[in-house]
Amino acid sequence: MLRKTISFRSFLTAAVTGLFACAAVAADNDRVELWNPDVPFPPSLEEIPPLPYGIYSYVHRGVAGDQQYLHESGLAWYQGVLYTGWSNARRDESAPDKHIRGRFSINGGRTWSEPVVIAPEAEGDQRREYANFAVFEDKLWLFTTRIHSGWSFADPKLELHVLDEGIAGWKKVGVVTDDLFVATDKPRQLDNGRWIISGMCKIYVDGRRVGKNRIALSEPNDLTSWTVSGIEHPEGMRFPFSTLMVEGNEITAIVRNSTDTYAMVSTSTDYGETWSFAQPTNLPLTGNKTFAGVLSNGQRYIIGCTPAERGDHSRRALTIMVSEPGEKQFSKIWKISRGEPYPMRFEGRGKGPGPSQWSYAKAVEHDGHLYVIYTVNKEDAEMAIIPLEVLRR
């Protein structure tokens, strides 16, 4: 288990090394030490080094007047083909025309197919969002959530789709749970045969919409039957969805924290059946979606946005943090995003104001590389291919 921060030690460390937001961290007795306190965290975004090496390419760019909005992408390798998907809409976030499209590549991302529709626009005042792929029983599956348009997150339905015809023919399987659950992370298969997906929901409490974390567990070896529970967390968190690091029966959830620019963490030691109450950590992350995992060499990793200062929830710097193999604490960080922010090309609801952004990454390991897809300005999908050896330097 991870250690808890001792207040005096955190204060002393901050005073000596000038760690990020030192005074604020020192004031908290119970911060879980996700970042190794013996390793100084870079005191500014400018001092976070870029990746020593990576291959970058655009997967898809928004088109003026048609599908200008793009977000919530995902990717998977299946039968030697690299598949991607994302949420598309003509202009606005959470609009009723939001649906799932994607591209595939037969040469590892050097070139891409034309866009294909994976899950079309829903009927009525509903939308589809998030592209969450899974490979199981020699088939490629995709989970997406059908939900009412706008910001209410009312009446979500988790849908399952399957690649059924050739290289680009998708078919809807159906709704696999009616529980309040918006799937935001990719499915992970556990050693006990079950699958786990993390997400969130919105409920009304005293007339107010309140965000709640949600965790879905499948029946063993069955993607069509799910039980939904959740991680308890402090009140006031708008979008408390999580991402997971699975290590046997122990699962660590990194919970999005909209109340502070430090990640929260919860753990399960019984394959996601029960969870500890989410606790604050000493790991700087802005309050937006992160993605985490464990590489085949035993390194943990987290991809998310690092804040410029405490309270900064912008998405100016997409970073990857890693641990040493087999270690629980993170000790290295690099920027994935490059150079100055790109200018936004299109107007649209839910896209600003503020600087340009890189955000909402997902990743998959394949053949000695980590393939990372992410959103640029909620308009484009970009991919970085990172050799695993780079993350060991």
Tens digits of residue pLDDT in 333-387: 999 988 666 788 999 998 865 667 899 999 999 999 999 999 999 999 999 999 9
Q: How far apart are CA 242 and CA 198, in angstroms?
A: 6
- Over range 63-71, report the average pLDDT: 93
What DSSP state is assigned to residue 351? S
Q: How far apart are CA 312 and CA 340, in angstroms?
A: 17
Q: How far apart are CA 34 and CA 91, in angstroms?
A: 38
pLDDT digits (tens, 9 = 90+) for 262-276: 999 999 999 999 999
pLDDT for residue 284 is more than 60: yes
pLDDT digits (tens, 9 = 90+) for 117-152: 999 999 989 999 999 999 999 999 999 999 998 877
Q: How far is CA 183 from CA 130, 177, 178, 243, 324, in A?
A: 7, 11, 12, 11, 30
Q: How far is CA 25 from CA 9, 17, 40, in A?
A: 11, 13, 13
Helix (H, G, I), strand (E, B) or coil at 144: strand
- Over range 26-47, report the average pLDDT: 86
Contacts of 280 (CB under 8 A, 6+ apart): 28, 30, 31, 32, 257, 260, 262, 264
pLDDT for residue 97 is more than 50: yes
Query: Cα angle vertex 9, ends 6, 324, to 5°?
Result: 85
pTM exceeds 0.85 = yes
Greater pLDDT, 124 or 18: 124
pLDDT digits (tens, 9 = 90+) for 175-211: 999 899 999 999 999 999 999 999 999 887 777 888 9
Residues paired with residue 66 on neighbouring β-strands, in sequence order = 63
